[in-house]
């Protein structure tokens, strides 16, 4: 028998939260990750120029869950941060999500809030039922805004037309009649003060937790080194666990192009600028906005969507979800394994939702 009771595959939010909860409850835990660092996609590090960056793309923490915020607050202090995005259309940077000011700038209008609401009411194309992401946007802002801000961004990001994606994808983006230009309106919006890597290190710093990096679970399994654990928590892609026996679940990937600009205090006015209609990338993020770091240079990242590469996004479509269900049913029959997280549950989860799912999974395991 292995003296470590629980094996956790993946040291991202899902794996680290479950590990800490079980360790606090007196269980002994081995966490393995094939990457050379903890934190999963939320990992951050200082680049060669001394700027704190997110190698796997910008991660902005926001939540309405007091429980999730309190739980994470055991491992980090916070730096308040409200994310703001501009969308560049026809060479002009507009406030995004679309709000009253976006309308007034774009169409040369002078609408007040009631006027903006009336404008949307006039141009919207009512859809019933609202099934796809195309339905969501046409139903709220009509065709011109759809084509300028959503259609091409979505095609680029997913390689699919908005009509081919479930409503939930575009429904992440609100439409506002007031001038609120924040990307999120959650009650808690803050970044870990000393970075994500430090928060994860604190989470996993426990006498009952051992971490092994650069270890691929699938190799462990081939060697039989996964035997002897009372339970396994898997946070990688669920289809990989089952050796793709029903076929591959599609995930969308990204290529990140990082760049440092020496002697440039500020590259852009807000954290992220979206480019729906131009370029191969979807957006540029400047990290110093997110982290509050002071530095005479600045570091930015461009995100190029692609089909191949590390799995980053489950693709919310009915057929993919049906395929996932088949794997989920197989998973439910495995009493010694739990599947937790964005890849294992095939859900377009934000970080706080993964923490919530991991806390729920840990509760089940403890009882
Ligand atoms: P992951 O972070 O993917 O962790 C899974 C881990 O398992 C990985 O480290 C992987 O190496 C490991 N693993 C997989 N298979 C194996 C194996 N066979 N053997 C060993 N290890 C294995 N959320 C927000 O709330 N705000 C944001 O601003 C935000 N921005 C994002 C931007 C991008 C570009 C992306 C891709 C995601 C973003 N997210 C954001 C979502 C966020 O990244 C996820 O919700 C969260 O990190 C998922 O945590 P996880 O533990 O489920 O998965
Ligand atoms: N979206 C868009 N235009 C934008 C921003 C977003 O069409 O300028 C759509 C697109 O389909 C995107 C989805 O809304 O994938 C969700 O956007 P979000 O910024 O939440 O994506 P994430 O940060 O998860 O990549």
pLDDT 10s digits, 167-187:
999 999 999 999 999 999 999
Q: Are residues 235 and 342 in the same domain?
A: yes
Which atom from ligand 2 is nearest to the alpha carbon of 133?
A: 11
Range of the domain at 18: 6-38+204-250+315-366
Interval between CA 19 and ligand 1 midpoint (Å): 16
Please indicate, yes or no, whether residues 238 and 339 belong to a single structural domain of this protein.
yes
The set of protein residues with a Cβ atom below 6 angstroms from ligand 2 is: 87, 96, 149-150, 153-154, 157, 169-170, 172-173, 274, 276
- Residues 237, 356 within the same domain: yes
Q: pLDDT value at position 128?
A: 96
Ligand 1, residue 83: give the atom nearest the CA: 28
Strand-strand pairing, 6-9 and 29-33: parallel
- Please report whether residue 158 resides in a domain: yes
Tell me the CA–centroid distance for residue 269 and ligand 1, in Å: 28
DSSP E strands: which ranges in 200-243? 209-213, 231-234
User: Is the CB of 200 inside a 6 Å radius of any atom of ligand 1?
Assistant: no
Q: What are the structure tokens assigned to 19, written together?
A: 């590990």
> In 3D, which of 235, 188, 180, 270 has the Cα closest to residue 349?
235
Q: What is the pLDDT of residue 367?
A: 87
Q: Which of 148, 171, 194 is the last residue of a domain?
A: 171
> Ligand 1 in contact with 42 (CB < 6 A)?
yes
The fraction of the chain above a pLDDT of 90, given in percent, is 99
Go through 185-210 and write b for each residue having 16 or more CB atoms within 10 A of its CB, e for each that does not: ebebbbbbeebbbbbbbbbbeeebbe
For helices 113-123 and 133-145, angle between their N-to-C axes, nearest 10 degrees: 110
Asked if residue 217 and residue 118 are part of one domain, the reply reads no
How confident is the model over 113-136, as pLDDT tens digits? 999 999 999 999 999 999 999 999
Q: How many CB atoms lie within 10 A of CB 226?
A: 18
Give the CA dihedral 172, 178, 183, 185, nearest 10 degrees.
Answer: -80
* Cα of 136 from ligand 2 centre, angstroms: 13
Same domain, 23 and 128: no
Nearest CA to ligand 1 atom 34: 57
Residue 337 lies in a domain: yes
- As a whole number of angstroms, the distance between CA 193 and CA 199 comes to 9
Question: Which tokens go with 189?
Answer: 């919006």
Give the span between the Cα atoms of 11 and 203, in whole angstroms.
10
Nearest-CA residue for ligand 1 atom 18 is 217
Quick check: 1 pLDDT over 50?
Answer: no
Instruction: Give the CATH number for residue 218.
Output: 3.40.50.720
- Asked if residue 32 has its Cβ within 6 Å of ligand 1, the reply is yes
Separation between Cα atoms, residue 168 and residue 310, nearest integer Å: 23
198 token code pair: 């430090």
Q: How far apart are CA 203 and CA 15, in angstroms?
A: 11
| pLDDT (average), residues 266-278 | 98
Q: What is the predicted pLDDT for the residue at 2? A: 53
Spacing of C-alpha 91 from chain mean position: 28
The values of phi and psi at residue 219, to 5°, are: -65, -45
296 found inside a domain: no
Q: In the chain, how many domains are there?
A: 2
Q: Which atom of ligand 2 is nearest to the CA of 96?
A: 8
For ligand 1, mutation pick of 351, 352, 353 (most atoms within 8 Å of CB):
351
Average pLDDT over residues 32-56: 98
301 lines ligand 1 (CB under 6 A): no
- Torsion angle, CA of 292/298/303/304, rounded to 10 degrees? 180
Same domain, 246 and 319: yes
Same domain flag for 323 and 239: yes
Question: Measuring CA to CA, which residue among 103, 157, 168, 176 is closest to residue 135?
Answer: 168
Decide if 194 is inside a domain.
no
Using CA positions, which residue lies closest to atom 1 of ligand 2?
Answer: 150
Ligand 1: centre distance to CA 159 (Å): 21
- Read off the pLDDT of each residue in 232-251 and give the average, rounded to a whole number: 98
**Ligand 2 pocket test target in 153, 160, 342 with most atoms within 8 Å of CB:** 153
367: Cα within 13 Å, side-chain hemisphere? 5
Residue 126 and residue 230 in one domain: no
What are 335's strand-pairing partners? Answer: none
If asked whether residues 137 and 226 sit together in one domain, one would say no
d(CA 348, CA 315): 8
> What pTM did the predictor assign?
0.98
The stretch 142-154 carries a mean pLDDT of: 98
**Does any domain span residue 275?**
no
Residue 61 forms part of a structural domain: no
167 and 113 co-located in one domain: yes
């Amino acid at each position: 028998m292995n003296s470590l009771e629980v094996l956790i595959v993946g040291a991202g939010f899902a794996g680290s939260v479950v590990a800490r909860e079980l360790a606090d409850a007196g269980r002994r835990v081995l966490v393995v990750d094939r990457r050379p660092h903890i934190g999963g996609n939320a990992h951050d590090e200082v680049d060669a120029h001394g700027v704190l960056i997110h190698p796997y793309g910008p991660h902005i923490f926001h939540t309405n869950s007091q429980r999730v915020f309190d739980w994470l607050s055991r491992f980090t202090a916070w730096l308040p941060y409200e994310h703001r995005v501009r969308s560049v259309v026809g060479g002009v940077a507009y406030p995004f999500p679309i709000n009253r000011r976006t309308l007034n700038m774009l169409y040369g209008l002078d609408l007040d809030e009631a006027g903006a609401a009336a404008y949307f009411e006039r141009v919207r194309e009512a859809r019933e039922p609202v099934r796809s992401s195309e339905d969501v946007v046409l139903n709220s802002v009509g065709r011109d805004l759809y084509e300028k801000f959503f259609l091409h961004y979505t095609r680029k990001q997913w390689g699919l037309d908005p009509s081919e994606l479930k409503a939930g994808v575009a429904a992440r983006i609100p439409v506002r009649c007031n001038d609120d230009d924040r990307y999120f309106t959650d009650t808690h919006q803050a970044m870990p003060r000393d970075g994500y890597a430090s928060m994860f290190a604190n989470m996993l710093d426990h006498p009952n937790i051992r971490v092994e990096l650069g270890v691929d679970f699938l190799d462990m399994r081939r060697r039989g080194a996964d035997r002897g654990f009372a339970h396994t928590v898997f946070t990688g892609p669920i289809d990989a666990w089952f050796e793709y026996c029903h076929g591959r679940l599609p995930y969308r990937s990204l290529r990140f192009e990082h760049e440092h600009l020496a002697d440039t205090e500020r590259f852009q006015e807000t954290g992220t600028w979206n480019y729906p209609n131009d370029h191969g990338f979807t957006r540029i993020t400047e990290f110093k906005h997110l982290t509050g770091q002071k530095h005479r240079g600045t570091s930015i990242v461009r995100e190029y969507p692609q089909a191949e590469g590390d799995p980053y996004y489950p693709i919310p479509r009915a057929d993919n979800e049906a395929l996932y269900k088949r794997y989920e049913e197989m998973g439910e029959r495995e009493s010694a394994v739990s599947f937790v997280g964005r890849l294992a549950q095939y859900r377009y989860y934000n970080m706080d939702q993964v923490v919530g799912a991991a806390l729920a999974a840990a509760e089940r395991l403890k009882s």
